[in-house]
């Protein structure tokens, strides 16, 4: 029997996909009324695993068109890096666009690479699931541009998936870039992309390990819950790799209270640093892939219990905050926590479908 939250999650995603194909990150949170490549790709992946391939295809149509609309900015940055010139953080492709594919007018932490690695991984997954060769041909130029873009820029410091610490090299970002380039190379594209993916993984293993586990960014031994992605879905480390197991153990120890949800990282102050729906479902996805269904279902249950009466899932739950004194200032600045957040609903659907099949 299909759970009410499953039906509602699909409804929320359908209702918040624009005619252009873009997914709005959150309709009721002003700052998130944009389409992100990262969020949108995970939403599209959720729709793919739920059999809603047309919705995913429409998103990839929008994103490929948006990439090519702004191809000159990407190409200019590639040339600069190849010449050894410095990179400014307002250059290149933006991490978020309007629903019509235009750049935002306000200042933002736009130099982020992980979303483009995630997008390349996701679009390849869509093509694997659907075998849609007509769309593959239509998207090829955008895919090739993004592959070259991240292959050229992967060693550049940039903002992480939380849009913070733009002067650092983030291990979770490198995992996403690895995943995207590896997936693209496996489609039979230039062997150089597979070599660069190998170089990225080697860099992580040499510089991104602390005390036997993956670290938040190079030089910081803390863990970040986004590191779950190194195994699922990007496969830069195997599920049972000792370094991945150690990373998950640190996330459980440092970022999760007993039977609770998952925090982003220990020093997180955003809305006080609560428990994130999407990260809790993501951890459940890891356990499901490892074959630990009991833990995966426990985490799915936690997510389900934190839907409201309208079966809407928020970005985070402020019940156990890292820094309670920070909460009110964020509410005053941006309003209440974003709800519904499409990325939260997407990760819930991915975990639910994985456990249901």
- Beta carbons within 8 Å of 45's beta carbon, 6+ residues apart: 56, 122, 125, 126, 233, 346, 350
Helix, strand or coil, per DSSP, at residue 288: helix
| Measured distance CA(146)–CA(181) in Å, rounded | 9
| Measured distance CA(6)–CA(9) in Å, rounded | 5
| Measured distance CA(74)–CA(64) in Å, rounded | 13
Which of the following is catalytic: 160, 224, 268, 275?
A: 160
- The closest of 171, 227, 226 to 202, measured between CA atoms, is 171
- Beta carbons within 8 Å of 318's beta carbon, 6+ residues apart: 271, 272, 274, 327, 337
| Catalytic residue list contains 39 | no
CB burial string 227-247: b at 16+ within 10 A, e below = bbbbbbbbbbbeeeeebbbbb
Query: What is the DSSP annotation of 33-95?
Result: -SEEHHHHHHHHHHHHHTT-HHHHHHHHHHHHHHHHHTHHHHHHHHHHHHTT----TT-S--S
| Catalytic residue list contains 356 | no
CB 78 within 8 A of CB 148: yes
Which of the following is catalytic: 52, 163, 194, 199?
A: 163
| Catalytic residue list contains 336 | no
Active-site residue numbers?
160, 163, 315
């Amino acid at each position: 029997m299909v759970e009410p939250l499953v039906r509602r999650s699909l409804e929320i995603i359908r209702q918040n996909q624009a005619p252009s194909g873009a997914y709005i990150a959150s309709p009721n949170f002003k700052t998130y009324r944009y389409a992100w490549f990262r969020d949108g790709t995970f939403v599209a992946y959720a729709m793919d695993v739920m059999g809603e391939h047309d919705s995913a295809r429409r998103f990839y149509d929008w994103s490929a068109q948006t990439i090519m609309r702004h191809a000159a900015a990407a190409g200019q940055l590639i040339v600069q890096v190849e010449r050894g010139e410095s990179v400014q953080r307002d250059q290149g492709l933006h991490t978020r666009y309007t629903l019509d594919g235009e750049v935002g007018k306000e200042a933002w932490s736009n130099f982020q690479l992980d979303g483009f690695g995630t997008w390349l991984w996701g679009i390849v997954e869509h093509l694997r699931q659907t075998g849609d060769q007509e769309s593959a041909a239509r998207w090829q130029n955008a895919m090739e541009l993004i592959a070259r873009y991240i292959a050229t820029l992967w060693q550049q410091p940039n903002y992480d998936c939380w849009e913070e610490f733009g002067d650092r090299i983030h291990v979770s970002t490198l995992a996403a870039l690895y995943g995207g380039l590896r997936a693209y190379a496996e489609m039979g594209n230039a062997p150089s992309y597979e070599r660069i993916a190998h170089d990225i993984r080697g860099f992580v293993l040499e510089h991104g390990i602390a005390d036997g586990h993956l670290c938040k960014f190079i030089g910081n031994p803390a863990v970040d819950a986004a590191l779950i992605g190194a195994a699922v879905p990007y496969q830069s480390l195997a599920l049972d790799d000792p370094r991945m197991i150690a990373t998950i153990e640190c996330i459980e120890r440092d970022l999760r209270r007993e039977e609770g949800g998952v925090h982003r990282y220990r020093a997180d102050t955003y809305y006080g640093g609560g428990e994130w729906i999407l990260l809790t479902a993501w951890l459940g996805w890891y356990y499901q892939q490892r074959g630990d269904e009991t833990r995966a279902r426990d985490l799915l249950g936690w997510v389900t219990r934190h839907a409201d009466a309208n079966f809407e899932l928020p970005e985070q739950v402020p019940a156990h905050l890292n820094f309670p004194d920070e909460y009110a200032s964020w509410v005053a600045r941006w309003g209440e926590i974003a709800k519904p957040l499409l990325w939260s609903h997407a990760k819930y659907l991915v975990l639910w479908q994985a456990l249901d099949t």
